[in-house]
Structure 1
Amino acid sequence: MTQAHIVYASMTGNNEEIADIVTDALEDLGVSVAVDEISQADADDFADSDICIIATYTYGDGELPDEALDFYDDLQEENLSGKIYGVCGSGDTFYDDSFGKSVDDFAAAFEKTGATKGAENVKVDLEAEESDIEHLETFAKSLVAKAQAN
């Protein structure tokens, strides 16, 4: 059975909800899913998973969440060759130039691990609405398809 691990950072609950939406979509596709809040996770937790997912928020003018800084640094040191990754998360479109920047930063960190991108990044403006849920479900399907083809 395909194994996925979702690690999320959430200040307002929006990314916990995003992680739940992706979890439900993956489970509907027959994937076994583990979920951890980022301050309770280690980057090497991804070693036992086929699909590695980060759901993060972007703080202020494009900063990573404080609670994600150590995880972010450690992630770049991991060897995740053969793994599929995806990154999603929330931001605020009020910050035009930095909307969802942490999503892009985590995707760049995954690139350094040797993992393969399994889906396009998904950025949600604050709270997930119906169209965002559809994008997140498509995100999950793409990750599973890439993992099964891998």
Structure 2
Amino acid sequence: MAKIIIAFASMSGNTEEIADLLKESMGPFNHQIDMMEIEHMEVEDLLPYDGILIGSYTWGDGDLPYETEDFYEDLLTLDLTGKRAAVFGSGDRAYPKFCAAVDLFEDRLKECNADIIQNGLKVEFTPDTPAEIDRCVDFVVSFASQIEV
């Protein structure tokens, strides 16, 4: 049984809804799945996990949310070699940099030597259509199937 963490930041609840859907969709894999809000974490909390999913909404014109900035900076202190990771997030297409926080976190995880095993999942607002829900489920099923102990 692998250990997977879903670390997320959510202001309006959209990213938390995605995180909940991802956790629920991993049920058949029998992995141990923990969910934590980034603002209540230290980066070292990631170390015991085999799989890391980070979720964040994007603020304004492509910025990280305030509550993730310290976590994002502190990630540089970690060596995540051997950890499998992926990033998800919510955003608003009205802004020029749609879901830019996903790209920022993905790049930062690469800098920490994490193995990015899925392209980032970007969702406008919340997954509220069958197609969007399926896209989220496909994302996490592919992720969970690639996590081994």
Q: Same fold (TM over 0.5)?
A: yes
1:27, distance to aligned residue in structure 2 (A): 2.3
1:7, distance to aligned residue in structure 2 (A): 0.7
Distance in 2 between residues matched to 1:131 and 1:8, nearest whole Å: 23
Aligned twin of 1:100: 99
Query: 2:45 matched to 1:40?
Result: no
Aligned twin of 1:113: 112
Aligned twin of 1:56: 56
Contact 1:57 1:100 in 2 (8 A): yes
1:28, distance to aligned residue in structure 2 (A): 2.6
Query: 2:12 matched to 1:4?
Result: no
For residues 1-150 of structure 1, the aligned pairs below 5 Å read 1-95=1-95, 97-129=96-128, 130-148=130-148
Q: Look up the equivalent residue of 2:91 and give its one-letter code.
A: G
**What is the root-mean-square deviation of aligned Cα atoms in Å?**
1.2
1:39, distance to aligned residue in structure 2 (A): 0.7
SS at match of 1:59: coil
Contact 1:92 1:99 in 2 (8 A): yes
Using structure 1 for the length normalisation, give the TM-score. Answer: 0.94
Identity among equivalent positions (%) equals 33
Contact 2:81 2:115 in 1 (8 A): yes
Contact 2:29 2:145 in 1 (8 A): no
Name structure 1 gaps, 5 residues minimum. Answer: none
Q: Look up the equivalent residue of 1:19 and give its one-letter code.
A: A
Name structure 2 gaps, 5 residues minimum. Answer: none
Distance in 1 between residues matched to 2:21 and 2:126, nearest whole Å: 12
Using structure 2 for the length normalisation, give the TM-score. Answer: 0.94
Distance in 2 between residues matched to 1:87 and 1:132, nearest whole Å: 16
Moved over 3 A (4+): none
